Structure formats: structure tokens, C-alpha cells
């Protein structure tokens, strides 16, 4: 996780969910909520995967 971004409560939940399912994820939410940052940080922590917009 990027040290400049405060760890949020959803990060742990999404990591455990991704490990259980191992499939594509859709992150809905309002603009500027941190969806892209969260997705990129999760991919970085797993060391694999693709990010598409």
C-alpha cells in the first residue's frame, strides 16, 4: 500500500475478497473517491493482474 495514502477500512476487506474469488472486480463510486488508487494499490500488493479503464 502506498505510504502517502491513508489505509482505509475497505482495503483489508477487498484484499480478502480478491483472494477468495480471484476474478474480475468492479469498483463503483462517486468521482474522486479513490477507486483508481485503491485498484492500483491492490494490484501492486498482489504483484499480478491487469488494470483497465
Q: Is residue 3 part of a domain?
A: no
Cell numbers linked to 6? 491513508
Q: Is residue 52 part of a domain?
A: no
Q: Global pTM?
A: 0.58
Q: Is residue 36 part of a domain?
A: yes
Q: Is residue 27 part of a domain?
A: yes
Q: Is residue 53 part of a domain?
A: no
- The residue segments making up the domain with residue 32 are 9-46
Q: Residue 11: what pLDDT?
A: 75
Q: What is the pLDDT of residues 1-53, one digit of tens each?
A: 555 555 667 777 777 777 666 677 788 889 998 888 888 888 887 777 777 77
Contact present, 1 and 39 (Cβ < 8 Å)? no
Q: Residue 30: what pLDDT?
A: 92
Q: Residue 5: what pLDDT?
A: 54
User: 30-45 burial string, b = 16+ CB within 10 Å, else e?
Assistant: eeeeeeeebbebbeee
Q: Is residue 31 part of a domain?
A: yes
Q: Residue 21: what pLDDT?
A: 65
| Tally of structural domains, the chain | 1
Amino acid at each position: 500500500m502506498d505510504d502517502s495514502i491513508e489505509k482505509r477500512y475497505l482495503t483489508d476487506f477487498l484484499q480478502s475478497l480478491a483472494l477468495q474469488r480471484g476474478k474480475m472486480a468492479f469498483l463503483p463510486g462517486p468521482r474522486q473517491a479513490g477507486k483508481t488508487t485503491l485498484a492500483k494499490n491492490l494490484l501492486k500488493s498482489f504483484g499480478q493482474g491487469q488494470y483497465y479503464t
